[in-house]
Chains A and B, each alone.
Chain A
Amino acid sequence: MNWFHIASQSLLNRKTTALLTLFMLAISISLILTVDRIRVDTKENFSNTLSGTDLILGARTGSLNLLLYSVFRIGNASNNIGWASYLELTENEAVAWAVPISLGDSHKGYKVVGTTTDYFKYYQFSRGQSLEIYQGKAFENVFDVVLGYQVAKKLGYQLGEQLVLSHGIGNTSFKEHDDKPFSVVGILKPTGTPVDQSLHISLEGMSAIHINWRNGFEIPGMNITAEQALQMDLTPKTITAALIGMKSRIQTFQFQRMVNDYRNEPLMAIIPGATLAELWQMMSIAEQSLLAISAMVIVTGLLGMMTVILAGLNERRREMAILRALGCPASNIVLLLVLEAGFYGLSGLLLGYGLHLFWVAIASNLMMSLYGIELSMNLPNLTMLWVMTGFLVSSFLIGIVPGIKAYRQSLTDGLTLRT
């Protein structure tokens, strides 16, 4: 007897219910896989964004806030810091290098970063990798701009093209610096960090485009052309933050304390690694809750499958009776239902995995444009593989319950059903 053929025919007979059960299981599996993928990739992305920087200097705000806006370009700076304070603090003999950062402008939704060429030398990511030029070179002149990889790719910019920066960091702006266009002189290699979504100009370029701005708006009638601006003093007056590297890491705390106690201006210095660890600690409750909910959804899905099979057993009593009459031993009835449940489990798993890849593809565009986080399409990690195995085994075992019910029913029923 080709039991497999009989079992598959039986399933095809109930294909609507079967498909719905399959989807229920697939959605529950795809949920936990996607949640875990987003969770793990976000953590990795955030951790890989900055490396080798001992301190970040900025206005006195929350430590997490400073980390997010200076490095991840999420959120807004509460205040800028004075150039004089920056110079005084970084002239300290314990400081090995310092890279100033000036934020506040954008271009078609991508953030503009005013900095020095030291940025390309000292900014590291992913445990020690440096920024590399893909095409062209770093900025030299006041109106040069270096694009991050994604900016160049999404907006289709080539070397030598001119672009106009906008004031503010919204997706569009009603105040453009159109009298002072910038030309693209370099494009960076992709890094998988917010650097890819940024445009980099010199601090002098940042000063030049705001030269006729006071208190946040353009002075009407005070038209200074790009050529005129080049003749003026373009030393920055304020910057937003600075990345600092110490000669000896042991001196980190002392320097941090000095910055925190600085009297001339409200400043603070954070240790990026420690601040990230604080962030993960805060997020761990949310993470555990999300995972617990996803696990509950899977349990719900499995119980739902068991319910569907159990509920359908009544209609299949005649089918079971016929099978018994054909010589199928009573114990095989149990096996039949265990295999059916297992089949739901296996195909639910495969379909769920495919659905998960679909969700990730959709989410990854969103995550990249909103947060600069890159979602990977890797195979599931070890924990998730255990979850999937457990799910598969449980689906087989769950089949025992309807199996036993059908077994007992088939013993009491003959070919003529007593209803």
Chain B
Amino acid sequence: MKHCWLIVLGIVVLVACSEQESTTLQPQQSQPSLTPEELEIQAPEQPDYSSPKTTIAVPEFREVDWQELIPEDYTFDFIKTQIDLESYDIANLQDGDPEAQRLYRDMQALMRKAPVISELDSEKIKIPGFVVPLEIDGNIVYSFLLVPYFGACIHTPPPPANQIVYVEVEDGFKFLDMYNPVWVSGPITVESKDSVLAYAGYTIRAHSIEDY
């Protein structure tokens, strides 16, 4: 008698479970017998082989490699035509040498004006990279620069202008740390040199940010 409430509780649970099983069995039992015509209507649809449809889902965002952001004709040979490399004794240049600084400045000037591919404009792409936050509110980031390698904001030479993407996230995303790369999906806009800004660059208005 002392533990009867426990037993009652157990019985109630068992009854409840068994009731569920019986309800799932019911529809089959209550089905009336059907005429052959009605049964035909219930037969599964035959696949339509007359018009072949693709069964592979086309992803909405195309995965893009960082290399794709650089125009094909922007090769080292092209760079050689822009900088007078003969004037430098490259083999013997030390890091702190003012000549090395001069070469570096020439390279940087080129990288600042690195060309972009206008054909990419408005394409929906998905690109992985590291986040350098610009507008941040606590742990939520509203806009950032996406770069192909970590350390682009610290001390290693920064990437050229066509290897940086400026990303805006309207409602922000929860940013964990700068060591973890993310996938950025969204339409890419390409500012060419003719724009008001006078600086070429890629921008994405992100639809989603996912961990890599």
Instruction: Say yes or no: A273 contacts B199, CB within 8 Å.
Output: no
Other-chain contact of B138, A40, A51, A330 (Cβ < 8 Å) = A40
B53 within 8 A of A: no
Distance (Å) between the CB of B170 and the closest chain A CB?
12
B142 within 8 A of A: yes
In the bound assembly, the distance between CA atoms of A248 and B152 in angstroms comes to: 17
For the residues of B in contact with A, the DSSP-based class is: mixed
Inter-chain contacts of A94 with B (CB < 8 A) = 112, 199
Distance (Å) between the CB of A254 and the closest chain B CB?
5
Instruction: Say yes or no: B112 contacts A257, CB within 8 Å.
Output: no
A3 within 8 A of B: no
Inter-chain contacts of B104 with A (CB < 8 A) = 261
In the bound assembly, the distance between CA atoms of A387 and B173 in angstroms comes to: 24
Inter-chain contacts of B159 with A (CB < 8 A) = 253
Inter-chain contacts of B2 with A (CB < 8 A) = 330, 411
Distance (Å) between the CB of A335 and the closest chain B CB?
11
Residues 136-178 of B, flagged 1 when their CB comes within 8 A of A and 0 if not, give 1111011011010000110101110100101000000001011
In the bound assembly, the distance between CA atoms of A331 and B2 in angstroms comes to: 9
A362 within 8 A of B: no
Interface residues of A in 346-366 (CB under 8 A from B): none
Distance (Å) between the CB of A153 and the closest chain B CB?
26
In the bound assembly, the distance between CA atoms of A271 and B133 in angstroms comes to: 8
Inter-chain contacts of B177 with A (CB < 8 A) = 277, 281
Interface residues of A in 263-308 (CB under 8 A from B): 263, 271, 273-274, 276-278, 280-281
Distance (Å) between the CB of B136 and the closest chain A CB?
5
A47 within 8 A of B: yes
Instruction: Say yes or no: B153 contacts A256, CB within 8 Å.
Output: yes
Q: Which residue of A lies closest to B132 (CB)?
A: A274
In the bound assembly, the distance between CA atoms of A134 and B201 in angstroms comes to: 39
In the bound assembly, the distance between CA atoms of A253 and B28 in angstroms comes to: 69
Inter-chain contacts of A249 with B (CB < 8 A) = 134, 145, 166, 201
Q: Which residue of B lies closest to A246 (CB)?
A: B199
Inter-chain contacts of A331 with B (CB < 8 A) = 5
Inter-chain contacts of B91 with A (CB < 8 A) = none
Instruction: Say yes or no: B112 contacts A43, CB within 8 Å.
Output: no
Q: Which residue of B lies closest to A52 (CB)?
A: B135
Inter-chain contacts of A48 with B (CB < 8 A) = 137
Inter-chain contacts of B153 with A (CB < 8 A) = 253, 256, 271, 274
Residues A250 and B178 in contact in the complex (CB < 8 Å), given A47-B137, A257-B108, A261-B104: no
Instruction: Say yes or no: A257 contacts B145, CB within 8 Å.
Output: no
Instruction: Say yes or no: A54 contacts B178, CB within 8 Å.
Output: no
Residues A277 and B178 in contact in the complex (CB < 8 Å), given A44-B137, A47-B137: yes
In the bound assembly, the distance between CA atoms of A330 and B175 in angstroms comes to: 55
In the bound assembly, the distance between CA atoms of A271 and B178 in angstroms comes to: 14
Residues A47 and B112 in contact in the complex (CB < 8 Å), given A250-B201, A253-B152, A277-B175: no
Instruction: Say yes or no: B133 contacts A274, CB within 8 Å.
Output: yes
B34 within 8 A of A: no
Distance (Å) between the CB of B93 and the closest chain A CB?
15
Instruction: Say yes or no: A247 contacts B197, CB within 8 Å.
Output: yes
Distance (Å) between the CB of B182 and the closest chain A CB?
13
Instruction: Say yes or no: A251 contacts B178, CB within 8 Å.
Output: no
Q: Which residue of A lies closest to B202 (CB)?
A: A250
Residues A51 and B101 in contact in the complex (CB < 8 Å), given A253-B152, A254-B112: no
Distance (Å) between the CB of A39 and the closest chain B CB?
10
Inter-chain contacts of B164 with A (CB < 8 A) = 250, 253
Q: List 15 A-B contacts (CB under 8 A).
A: A40-B138, A44-B138, A47-B137, A247-B199, A248-B198, A249-B166, A250-B200, A251-B199, A253-B158, A271-B153, A273-B134, A276-B133, A277-B133, A281-B178, A411-B2
What are the 9 A-B residue pairs with the smallest beta carbon separation, nearest first?
A253-B158, A248-B199, A250-B201, A273-B133, A43-B138, A273-B134, A47-B137, A273-B136, A277-B133
